[in-house]
Structure 1
Amino acid sequence: MDQPYVTLKTKNGIGTIEFFHPNKNAMPTLVLDLLVETIQKADLDQNIRVIVLQSGGDRTFCAGASFNELVAIEDAKTGEKFFSGFANVINAMRSCSKLIIGRVQGKAVGGGVGLAAATDYCLASKYASIKLSELSIGIGPFVIEPAVSRKMGKPTMAQMTINAEAFYSAEFAETHGLYAEVFETNESLDKGVLALVEKLSTYNPEALTEMKRVIWEGTEHWEDLLQERAKISGALVLSEFTKNTLKRFK
């Protein structure tokens, strides 16, 4: 696998969305936009009752923003547009009428933590440690913060953000509400995900839709909030500090 992709496969009422990028499943604009389109497509598909969100490969779940694309940003409008990609994905997940079950098989960094937090229920392997590294490169997890704080609490979000270079274990993520369950192997993770979604696919779809609405109650303002946060990140990525830091990672 050497080309980025986003796919949707449907079987027995289960829609599996998989994204991939050869650079540790980083998220350039192309992948972010495709992910939004695919989530919306799955939402409209009457054959799908529950959605699984996963990434390709056996290692990193998602490395967050594409450093190469961040380095190339030269103006605030372009920066805002890039970070709006993450905002659009979170809002697509939030407004989707179907439950989205996360499968996190490996490390999640920055935006990857945001994706996990925006699922309705998330299962992970013991290798799925997490990190909010944004502050260390001169920006911050502004766009994903509402989703992370909503799942893990603001004190935990602040702890991870301030200790920006530390990975926190999957067990930590489970204790603080990001993961519902942690499995020893990817094989057992897959069995756990399958057992859950097969069960959910037999439930009353109207009840599932109403439950989804209740789960996300009070987040209707996120359309505007996340866009405002994208502006903050889009401006900060132009700072000399951030530019110099990103070049070292490139």
Structure 2
Amino acid sequence: MKPTLTLRVFAALGYLVLLSPAALVLVLSFSAGDYLTFPPPGFSTRWYAALLSNGVMMSALGTSAILAAVVSVVALLAGGPAAYAIARLDFPGRGFLAALLAAPLLLPTLVLGLALLLVLQPLGLTASWPGLVLGHCLVAIPFAVRIMTTAFEGVPKELEAAAWTLGATPLQAALRVTLPNAAPGAIAAGVLTFLVSFDETVISLFLVGPRLTTLPVEMFRYAEHRTDPLVAALAMSLILFAAVMVLVVERLMGFSNAMGRK
């Protein structure tokens, strides 16, 4: 059934509402003025050049990129076996395990950040790489588990059974048959957990320090004291980066399937 004209109009209005903030940020990022004013007094790429020459921002960018890469790898290594067990094995408490691993997504990040601060502060892990990795993994692993569970469920169990009949052990069948077939889902999980960590702000605010900070936190601090279009240039850069990553996921397995919606 083809969508009606009314449905098309409402869909267009919905897209307009959703995309208008990004369009506004795009225009402001090319402003030639010294302040965030709309419409801008002129257009220039000066704020993109200023962003690249901002040592604090670039240092925070490097920290966020390394942190997100580490968190993505840890989330896959920790979440992959759990996702396989939930998707392929039948054991008591499987539903409870799935609910437990998804629980961090149900709690406000403000609560998680405060709890992590109270736990990690006595251990001396605040404002440290291990503390940040642990904090970000708390919200990244549930995403990895959910996406990988969907990927493993999409691999027919008959393929593993055929490998067993040919002499493969269950572990060999999982590693050589199921995992390669679920590889697009693993890549999608890695990409999305990278974005989750890279964009995490609230938990990072509780765990960073003066010598170790992430890009979202530094952006937050910058916007507190300045109102120039540099933050718009940075925001636009992050929007484009996230859009490219989402397109990668869509290309690999479809974004709806990756998020567990069929």
TM-score clears 0.5: no
Q: Please indicate the TM-score interval, normalised by the length of the shorter structure.
A: under 0.3
**TM value normalised by structure 1:** 0.26
Which protein has the bigger helix share?
2
